[in-house]
Amino acid sequence: MEQSPYELRSIVEFLNNQMQRSEVLIVEAKQYQYEDKRVLVPSLFGYTEDARRIKERRVTVTSGTRRQWDKSTFLEEIRNKLSQHEIDAIEKLMAYIESRGFDYRLGTGKVRGSVSPVMKSISQKSLFSIYTDGKLNLNFAWLDDTDKAIRVRDIYFKLSKERLSFGTPIEDITKYPSLPIDQWGPQVRKVIDVFEELLAVVG
C-alpha cells in the first residue's frame, strides 16, 4: 500500500510483540513522478527493536528444549545421515551391546541422538557413547564411581590406547576421546574385541 493507516500499524506492532516465531510486516510503496518516469520508494514497517528483543529472548529459552530419543528414532536418524558402511558399523556395535546384556541409555540431545551402554556390575555410568553423527566417545573420565569401575577403567584405557588409536590419539584417562566414524567404522571388529576382552577380564 502507499500509506498504511495508524490502526493497522498498531495491530502489526502488537502481533510482533506477541508472536514468537512469526513476523507481520507492512510494506509501503510510495510513488513519485518525475517527468515521464514513475519511481517507487518502498519502506518496511513492523519490525521494531522491542519485537526483535522479545523474539530473541523467547527463541533462546526454547532452544534449550531437549529431545528424548528412542531406538527407532536413533536408527532412523543414522539411516538418513550416514553411508551404508557407517550404518552397518553402528548397527553391528549395537547388536553386540544387546547380545552381551548391556543396559543402554538413549540421550536427550536436541540435535544429536546418542546410545550409551551401561554394565551395572561395573558402573552406573556408560563405558562409551555412539552418536547419530557416527562419533564414538570413550568415556574413561567418569568411570570412577566404584573401586571396580576404576580398575576396569584402567584396563579399558590401556586396551583402547593399544588398539583403538586409529587416528585420534588416546593419551589421557581423564578425558572422553571422540573417534569419528570414518576411523572406527572400518575397524568395528577391533572395537568389539576390546569390549569383549574387557568383559572377560572383569568377569
180-195 per-position pLDDT tens digit: 999 999 999 999 999 9
* % of the chain surpassing 90 pLDDT: 44
Closest CA to 29 of 47, 11, 9, 44: 44
34-43 residue pLDDT tens: 777 777 667 6
Chain mean pLDDT for the chain: 82
pLDDT in tens, 107-156: 888 889 999 999 888 888 999 999 999 999 999 999 988 888 999 999 99
Q: Which cell goes with 93?
A: 556395535
Residue 35 region by backbone torsions, left for phi larger than 0, else alpha for psi between -120 and 50, else beta: left
- Between CA 44 and CA 54 the distance in angstroms is 19
Q: Looking at the DSSP assignment, which residues form a beta bridge with residue 37?
A: 34
Question: Structural domain boundaries of the chain?
Answer: 6-62, 71-202
pLDDT > 80? residue 99 = yes
**What is 71-202's CATH topology?**
Aspartate Aminotransferase, domain 1 (3.90.1150)
What distance in Å separates the CA atoms of residue 33 and residue 154, rounded to the nearest whole number? 83
